[in-house]
Amino acid sequence: MLEVIFLGTGGIMPTRERNVPAIALRYNGEIILFDVGEGTMRQMNTAKLSPMKVEKIFITHFHGDHYLGLAALIQTMNLWDREKPLHIYGPKYTFEFVQHFLNSGFFRPGFKIHVHELGETRLKFGDYEIWSFKVEHGIPALGYVFKEKDKRGKFLPEKLAQYGLSEGPILGKLEREGKIEWNGKTIYLEDVTGPRRKGVKVVYTGDTEPTERVRLFAERADLLIHEATYLDPAHRGDSYHSTVEEACEVAKTAKVKLLALFHRAFRYTYDEYLSGASRICREFGVNFIVPRDFDVLTFKSGKFNVRNLPEERG
């Protein structure tokens, strides 16, 4: 099962109402972090997420609101006697900036930290892959795709009966090897299973101006988390950010199932932003949410359902 947990949903600076960017993906017991703005450790405590279960951190770019929580997170891991290595991924200069962090103050981690600088890269991890792609933010910056591997279809009882197969080790061999010899015939896995099931796809843009690469990598995503800092293009100035309208346009052309509008500027209240976004997204016919801190999206039966942790706990 996949859960997307929004630990910080605003941009630029934290406010009383929301923190700066950090997203946790929880998949089969592992927690993967995308960005670690200041205060991420506190947000994880509130969400009851253990930093000891984090093996990979993906940083989109090195503006403070996206990475300044990294030092606190690493020092907490060290305080709790972490032994497992930590992998940190990011754009050009990631190695240099992480080394500055690790060499600051009277502190040295007691566990290994592996730093990986990425371009447009495809990383394979067991049941899922993570792809990085370049975005446009005026500095080296990346977006990321989490893509679960497609799964085989279910065994079809009527097809098994047709070939004289039943539950047992022989089906395990068929699943592992893709084909077996049985009663003088070669039987392929596809002969006795239904259609393959598409793995879930989640795309996170980080901070970016509108770019064709986002649309290409977001094609038919189950969830697109697109920065949409501003409601009004006039508020953008010369910053390298996107508006709600631009994010909606990407979601529509890429045929995205659900758009999460992310990185809201602190000039807008939540209600003001939600009202403006609702009007714009309706015009595009886009299914969208404006996540709050501690909203959780759970992927089940082919779609994401949303809940909020503090509300859930009363």
Q: How far apart are CA 9 and CA 34, in angstroms?
A: 12
Q: How far apart are CA 144 and CA 76, in angstroms?
A: 26
In a shared domain, residues 271 and 173: no
pLDDT of residue 312: 64
pLDDT tens for 231-287 read 988 888 788 999 999 999 999 999 999 999 999 999 999 999 999 999 999 999 999
pLDDT of residue 311: 67
pLDDT of residue 158: 84
First-to-last alpha carbon distance for the chain, in angstroms, is: 24
pLDDT tens for 259-275 read 999 999 999 999 999 99
66 is in an annotated binding site: yes
| Average of per-residue pLDDT across 181-186 | 84
- In sequence order, the β-bridge partners of residue 89 are 58, 116
116 is in an annotated binding site: no
In a shared domain, residues 167 and 216: no
Q: How many CA atoms lie within 13 A of 241 on its CB side?
A: 23
In a shared domain, residues 91 and 214: yes
Which positions ≥6 away from 241 have C-beta within 8 Å? 11, 207, 208, 209, 227, 229, 230, 263
Q: How far apart are CA 73 and CA 44, in angstroms?
A: 10
Phi, psi of 33 (to 5 degrees): -100, 135
100 is in an annotated binding site: no
The total number of structural domains in the chain stands at 2
Q: Are 87 and 33 in contact (CB under 8 A)?
A: no
In a shared domain, residues 39 and 169: no
Domain boundary among 191, 215, 243: 191
pLDDT tens for 81-96 read 999 999 999 999 999 9
Query: Domain range spanning residue 137?
Result: 2-151+197-313
In a shared domain, residues 163 and 300: no
Task: Give the other-Cβ count within 10 Å of 228's Cβ.
Answer: 30
pLDDT of residue 313: 55
In a shared domain, residues 163 and 293: no
Instruction: Give the CATH number for residue 254.
Output: 3.60.15.10
Residue 185 pLDDT grade (very low, low, confident, very high; cuts 50, 70, 90): confident
In a shared domain, residues 107 and 127: yes
Catalytic machinery residues: 65
Phi, psi of 312 (to 5 degrees): -65, -35
In a shared domain, residues 174 and 139: no
How far CA 152 is from CA of 175, 186, 194, 221, in Å, comes to 9, 19, 8, 19
Across the chain, mean pLDDT equals 91
Is residue 233 classed as helix, strand or coil in its secondary structure?
Answer: helix
222 is in an annotated binding site: no
Q: How far apart are CA 203 and CA 206, in angstroms?
A: 9
127 is in an annotated binding site: no
Q: Does the CA dihedral 84-148-207-17 come out positive or negative?
A: negative
In a shared domain, residues 231 and 86: yes
Residue 314 pLDDT grade (very low, low, confident, very high; cuts 50, 70, 90): low
In a shared domain, residues 168 and 246: no
In a shared domain, residues 187 and 293: no
In a shared domain, residues 175 and 258: no
User: Which strands make up the sheet holding 223-227, listed edge to edge?
Assistant: 122-125, 128-134, 142-148, 201-204, 223-227, 259-262, 288-289
Instruction: Provide the whole-model pTM.
Output: 0.88
Among 34-48, 50-64, 139-153, whose mean pLDDT is lowest?
139-153
